Amino acid sequence: MTKTLPLRIDHQGMPAIHLRSPDGAEAIMLEYGGHVVSWKPANGVERLYMSPQAIFKDGVPVRGGMPVIFPQFGQRGPLQGHGFARRMNWQLVDARIGEDYAIANLRLTESAATLKLWPHEFSLEVTVNITGARLDVELEVSNTGNEPFEFTAALHTYLAVREVEECGIEGLRGQSCLDTLTNKEFREAKNPLTIDQEVDRIYYDTQKPLMLNEPHRGLVIQSENMPDTVVWNPWEQRCAELVDMPKDGFRRMICIEAAAIHQPVKLLPGGEWWGRQTLMGLD
Ligand code: TA6
């Protein structure tokens, strides 16, 4: 049996939804950006990185958690970096708790503000489902207008790590990727991939599960229908330039992002698309 709960809370001065599954898993989502800002599996240990200097203010993207990137990844188009979805207030559609899960669904649709930036009618939904050691975040896009449109999208997941230089990402060897720092494409030779400098890459068509290993724990990362994986760490110099990151913040995070970038998604009127990222803690 499921029941609807009043899960609304205030988080850093913003309306949010606090999900708590009966098995102990927890997540917090802001209505601003449809943004997951915290995920604790049932063992109670936070798995998402949130910058202690993150700014919670309308119009400013939140540095950490899981920003929703839509309808433009990065600077690949005329919009502001990473599009507008992370800078808009979304509507709560549904939040429920079940026997061993909790789920919430938020929606963003076109408004005068979005139409000014991007002249398309759309529905963008994010659904977050937590149970035990698992988090599923699903994006759904519908073209509710009369003209086709194209978009790129990502779940820009900031993962919390004890020390980035202790981490290894398994599962990328052999994958083609674009190094966006040099604008060169190459095939990944490393397994595991370790991080000891600035990294900003788009791995194409990564359909296999990835593992983020730390000496004391692991995380399985899977995506469906989001064929690309972005790996980002700003390292020391770039991090120092980010006003919303502490000096050593780059050591505590790594972004592993499920994305659809290389082949933009085309939707005809009435067309629908979905993509999902699943994280599973192994502690
Ligand atoms: O996903 C990686 C990336 O596109 C990087 O190039 C990097 O600048 C980052 O996202 C953060 O972007 P933001 O606009 O949130 O500062």
pLDDT of residue 4 exceeding 70: no
Residues 226-251 pLDDT 10s: 999 999 999 999 999 999 999 999 99
Percent of the chain with pLDDT over 90: 96
Question: What is the number of the ligand 1 atom nearest to the C-alpha of 238?
Answer: 8
Asked if residue 35 has its Cβ within 6 Å of ligand 1, the reply is: no
Q: Where are the alpha helices (DSSP H) in the chain?
A: 112-117, 235-241
- Nearest to residue 68, comparing CAs of 262, 270, 260, 204? 260
Asked if residue 74 has its Cβ within 6 Å of ligand 1, the reply is: yes
How far does residue 175's CA lie from ligand 1's centre (Å)?
21
Cis upstream peptide for 234 (omega within 30°): no
Instruction: Please answer whether residues 86 and 67 qualify as being in contact, where contact means their C-beta atoms are separated by less than 8 angstroms.
Output: yes
Minimum CA distance residue for ligand 1 atom 4 = 74
Topology (CATH) of 3-282: Beta-galactosidase; Chain A, domain 5 (2.70.98)
How far does residue 74's CA lie from ligand 1's centre (Å)?
7
List of E strands, 31-146 = 35-40, 68-69, 91-97, 102-109, 122-131, 134-143
Which phi and psi angles does 67 have, rounded to 5°?
-60, 140
pLDDT of residue 122 exceeding 60: yes
Report the C-alpha gap between 214 and 217 in whole angstroms: 5
How far does residue 63's CA lie from ligand 1's centre (Å)?
10
Mean pLDDT of 141-169: 98
Domain boundaries defined on the chain = 3-282
Lookup: tokens for 25:
């898993």
Question: What is the number of the ligand 1 atom nearest to the C-alpha of 232?
Answer: 2
Look at residue 3 in the predicted model and tell me its pLDDT. Answer: 53
Mutate-to-test residue for ligand 1 from 76, 87, 156, highest number of ligand atoms within 8 A of CB: 156
Predicted confidence band of residue 207 (pLDDT cuts 50, 70, 90): confident
Mean pLDDT of 68-94: 97
| 3-state percent breakdown (helix, strand, coil) of the chain, nearest 5 | 10, 50, 45
Report the C-alpha gap between 47 and 130 in whole angstroms: 13
Asked if residue 90 has its Cβ within 6 Å of ligand 1, the reply is: no
Predicted confidence band of residue 176 (pLDDT cuts 50, 70, 90): very high
Asked if residue 81 has its Cβ within 6 Å of ligand 1, the reply is: yes
Asked if residue 227 has its Cβ within 6 Å of ligand 1, the reply is: no
Lookup: tokens for 21:
């599954």
Residues 19-67 pLDDT 10s: 999 999 999 999 999 999 999 999 999 999 999 999 999 999 999 999 9
Asked if residue 31 has its Cβ within 6 Å of ligand 1, the reply is: no
Look at residue 270 in the predicted model and tell me its pLDDT. Answer: 98
Question: What is the number of the ligand 1 atom nearest to the C-alpha of 86?
Answer: 15
Over the chain, what is the mean pLDDT? 97
In sequence order, what are the residues at sequence separation of 6 or more whose Cβ sits closer than 8 angstroms to the Cβ of residue 221? Answer: 209, 210, 211, 212, 256, 258, 277, 278, 279
pLDDT of residue 1 exceeding 50: no
The maximal CA–CA distance of the chain, rounded, in angstroms, is: 53
pLDDT of residue 144 exceeding 80: yes
How far does residue 270's CA lie from ligand 1's centre (Å)?
31
pTM over 0.75: yes
Asked if residue 200 has its Cβ within 6 Å of ligand 1, the reply is: yes
